[in-house]
Amino acid sequence: MKRSLLALLPLTLWLISCEKDFKNVGKDIQPPSDQLNVFYSDTSSIIAYSSLVDSVRTDETSVAMLGSILDPVMGMTTAGFYTQLRLSASNHSFGDNPAMDSLMLSLDYRGIYGDSLAQITLKVYEMGDKIYYDSNYYSHQSVIINQPALAVLTFVPNLTDSLVVDGDTLGPHLRINLSDITPHLGEKLLGADTNQLANNDNFLNFFFGLYITAEVATTGGAILYIEPVSNLTKMRLYYRNDEEDSLSFDFNTSTGTAHFGHFDHDYALASADFKAQVLEGDTSLGRLFCYNQAMAGVKTFIRFPYLRNYYLQGNAAVNEARFFLNARTEDGSLFAPAANLVLVRSDGEDGYDFLSDQVEGTEYFGGVYDADKQGYWFRITYTVQDLMRQAYPDYGFELFISGGSLNAERVILAGTSPVDPVPVDQRMRLVITYTLPE
């Protein structure tokens, strides 16, 4: 349940928000006859600290990630993906005595995170076992691969220039020669019999697919966003036979093509403070900084332990509650702060529930990075009101990077009590406007 909910989190950002006077939320809780006094608080106690994410579901995502980043704070992250390739036409014949000229893999660029000028070294392998479109796969899972590598390519990504391929001008994409090191795969494909080429079900029992991964970065680095199902993501076999000497056949990705991402994190090279908090469990360090990392990396636990105390003054009605998080600025960093965060409520059983505020839409709920203010906010008015009333058990909240299986982002957040000279308004804080009967 936990993993399925996280996989759906990016979709909530598209909910349609309603026009509301947000600052009046909660006023109808008090009878109209009562005289109300308005109060303001930004000193609510907060417990916050970061820990590792277990894993995220990565099958059939709209983006596949490929590359490696060496982050001086959060260590090494490497991404690759497994994918099937399907026949572009059933019952194809390669003719009499076919011979391979080359086998080319192309990958459609979608974007990049990290150093866009960094060299990336990729390796491509043939898969040694099947994957299935109707199965669930997670970021920690792997599939048997066949040695040796079919290709090793070091390059600097070019996401702007078009390419001319076989006389056609195509958008920016990566091309990898799968026959440069060994002709094995090309010859295997040319040797497929009539039954193996009859349809995709038979073909996928003959050729399981490819695993594309990256060597670890030695400094900086980048992770590419690849479109896994695209007219440009495919494998093309160039060949000749007794009748013709300039032929080609495509193996495509399309709806129904199984693929999933595999992520590795090595925190040995992470900063000492990061390791002390995230790996060694020193939760007190959350007062200084908290960390969030996509790709089944790091999450932040948050709790507001004393909200019930507001009811000691009377039945407080919350007009507005906003939770502010400031991103730590890093001069010269290659790693931009995450575009969107998402806040969910823990259910006490290793699962999560959406906040009632979230259904109001992104305009109301927030979580979007504000470059001018260098931070994020969440409007959690209904949630804070419920916690004051003890409407449900309080197991705390979890903060994630939204779309953690679709991007390589990360962010460092100011903690609950950052040390001087960090301004007070940059600490993690809950700002509540509420009313009490006189």
Query: What are the DSSP calls for 221-272, one per residue?
Result: EEEEEEESSSTTSEEEEEEE-SS-SSEEEEEE--TT--EEEEEEEEGGGS-H
113 in Cβ contact with 409 (< 8 Å) = yes
Average pLDDT rounded to a whole number, residues 97-108: 98
DSSP state of 276: I
Write out pLDDT tens, residues 214-268: 999 999 999 999 999 999 999 999 999 999 999 999 999 998 999 999 999 999 9
**Confidence band for 36, pLDDT divided at 50, 70 and 90:** low
Residues in CB range of 40: below 8 A, 6 or more apart? 431, 432, 433
Residue 331 has pLDDT above 80, yes or no: no
Alpha helices for 141-183 (secondary structure H): none
User: Token digits for 437?
Assistant: 């009967």
Tokens 């907060």 map to which residue?
A: 46
| 91 CB burial (10 A radius; 0-12, 13-18, 19+) | exposed
d(CA 435, CA 432): 10
Mean pLDDT (whole number) for 69-96 = 97
Pinpoint the alpha helices (H) of 195-266.
200-206
Mean pLDDT of 39-44: 93
**Three-state secondary structure call for residue 185:** helix
Q: Is the pTM of this model over 0.75?
A: yes
User: To the nearest 5 percent, what fractions of the chain are helix, strand and coil?
Assistant: 15, 40, 45
User: How confident is the model over 80-93, as pLDDT tens digits?
Assistant: 999 999 999 999 99
Give the count of beta carbons closer than 10 Å to the beta carbon of residue 356: 15
CA-CA distance, 263 to 130, in Å (whole number)?
19
